[in-house]
A and B are shown apart, each in its own frame.
Chain A
Amino acid sequence: MVFLTRIEHFNAAHKLYNPSWTRDKNEEIFGACANENWHGHNYDLYVTIKGNPDPETGFVMDVKKLSNIIKARVTEKLDHKNLNEEVDFLKGQMCSTENLVVGIWNQLKTHLPENVTLHSVKLYETARIFVEYFG
């Protein structure tokens, strides 16, 4: 079994804001992240799949194809977007990095070839803050 990781990037605006709470409570819980006018990040996304290398190609998966799937299913929907307002798979959810990584996992898991398994999705919000999800 070999683990293969593809790294992608996207930039997006978001805010951490629970609409059922008052503005004061949002500021108390989420601090500067609750700014109603949004702020933003450069996100780094690590998608790891696992499988056995194909005897003929030597590939677990053609990494270009993996990149295309991530682009079509994830980064094209997120890059240069407002995560709270413009992303179908995050509608109605809080835009935390935790929820985002689970959303990305769900976008990918059923769209991979049968001979590989999605192992983990790791998402960096800043150089010092990241989350990981293993399904």
Chain B
Amino acid sequence: MERKTAIFRREHFNAAHRLFVPGWTDEQNFEKFGKCSNPHYHGHNYDLEVKVTGVPDPLTGYVINLSDLSSIIQKNVLARFDHKNLNLDTKEFASLNPTAENIVFVIYEILRKELDDSLGLSVRLYETERNFVEYPG
């Protein structure tokens, strides 16, 4: 019997961002994004949950070594985004609005390339305790 199992790793990063559409006026941006469009930026403690799904290796019992998964997230996600201004300091959001929806998709795409094709992946991102997104939805 195929014992498909999900394994999770939680990580954190802190970042500043601003939600805005570059072609819009400050008023239009404020109308759509409210105080999140503050031109001086604001920030969050982001909590990231990475879910990897697969069949445990019969020899090791692992779907994936959690230490390896942690290193992959650290090197490819946290090193890029932690203590950064998402709008100003990252190429990913230089021209993409850093909403939670877009951030979770970007993180998914980054991690997908790092994981074996046999493994399933889903990413959940908490912007605050009560606001979170998941991709794929």
Contact = CB atoms under 8 A, between A and B. Distances in A.
Interface of A: 9, 11-14, 32-33, 35, 37-42, 79-82, 85-86, 126-127
Contact of A85 (B40, B82, B84, B129): B40
B35 A39 contact: no
B45 A12 contact: no
Given A12-B42, A38-B41, A39-B14, 15 more contacts: A9-B128, A13-B16, A13-B85, A14-B43, A32-B83, A37-B85, A37-B89, A39-B15, A39-B83, A39-B84, A40-B14, A81-B38, A81-B40, A81-B42, A86-B38
A72 to B, nearest CB: 16
B124 interface: no
Contacts of A11: 42-44, 128
Contacts of A13: 16, 40-43, 85
Contacts of B15: 39-40
Contacts of B12: 126-127
Interface in B40-72: 40-45
A42 B38 CA distance: 16
Contacts of B43: 11-14, 38-41
Main secondary structure of the interface of A (DSSP, over half): strand
Q: Report the contact-size class of chain B (Cβ under 8 Å from the partner).
A: 20 to 34
Interface of B: 12, 14-17, 35-36, 38, 40-45, 82-85, 88-89, 128-129
Given A11-B44, A126-B12, A39 B85 contact: yes
Given A35-B83, A35-B84, A37-B84, A82 B14 contact: no
A84 to B, nearest CB: 9
A33 B83 contact: yes
